[in-house]
Structure 1
């Protein structure tokens, strides 16, 4: 089960990054072009939000099912001394949760803002920061192999 979850988590990450990138580019184009915020723009942002939340749920299940995560919760001091282990046990989960919180806040705020320009600006800033955070904590060595 753990191997299947790891593969699903890894492949779903491609979808998350792609939808987030599309939402960011769409928001930048809307902001730069002074365009009207349409239901298509809202759908792109919502799809990125849903993909990210799904990834979070898969990741949390994997974290507590995997011996890598569960085993090191009791020995956090040892995990913090090992950079590779620290990435999986602390940095990757924490930074990705922060990124998903930013996506959620960005989407929620953009829904309520009165002007189209402010909606695009909020989505651009929050989703772009989240994208950078996600990219910064991907375990690239393990992901490529």
Structure 2
């Protein structure tokens, strides 16, 4: 089950990035909705992964040691999910602005996309098959 959720989470990452670029290029409600709702799906998949991931669960079991040593476990326990949640809030704020026809939507979408790019574990395989 872990591998299946991880595979889908990895695939959805590319959809989120594509819709993020689309929302940045054409900052209207429809494009913003694709971005925000695909990102919502990505966050839900990430939460499911946290419950079934042996890496995440092992890191939580010894949280103090995990936080003291930089590495993959600390990245996923401390930074990865926080960046995703903040980006999710920014994307939904951008969607709200886009629905009102305000140009500030582009700023929110840009911030969300930038934070997502920083939060993606680029050291992991880009596509899991």
- TM-score where L is the length of structure 1: 0.80
Q: Is the 8 A contact 2:56 2:73 kept in 1?
A: no
Aligned partner (choices 131, 137, 143) of residue 113 of structure 2: 131
Change in Cα spacing, 1:67 to 1:60, as seen in structure 2 (3 Å) is: same
Unaligned runs of 5+ in 1: 28-40
What is the root-mean-square deviation of aligned Cα atoms in Å?
1.5
> Is 1:140 matched up with 2:122?
yes
> Is 1:55 matched up with 2:42?
yes
Distance in 2 between the 1:143 and 1:89 partners?
A: 19
Who is 1:17 aligned against? 17
Who is 1:34 aligned against? none
The ranges of structure 1 where at least 4 consecutive aligned residues each deviate by more than 4 angstroms after the TM superposition are: none
Change in Cα spacing, 1:42 to 1:109, as seen in structure 2 (3 Å) is: closer
> Is 1:105 matched up with 2:98?
no
Please list, as runs of the form range in 1=range in 2, the aligned pairs for 1:42-81 lying within 5 A after superposition: 42-80=29-67, 81=69
Q: Is the 8 A contact 2:23 2:31 kept in 1?
A: yes
Write the deviation string for residues 31-72 of structure 1: whole angstroms up to 9, x where unpaired: xxxxxxxxxx21111111110000110110011111111222
The structure with the greater share of residues assigned to helix is: 1
Q: Name the larger-Rg structure.
A: 1
The SS at the match of 1:44 is helix
Distance in 1 between the 2:4 and 2:71 partners?
A: 25
Q: After TM superposition, give the deviation of residue 123 of structure 1 in Å.
A: 1.4
Q: After TM superposition, give the deviation of residue 23 of structure 1 in Å.
A: 0.5
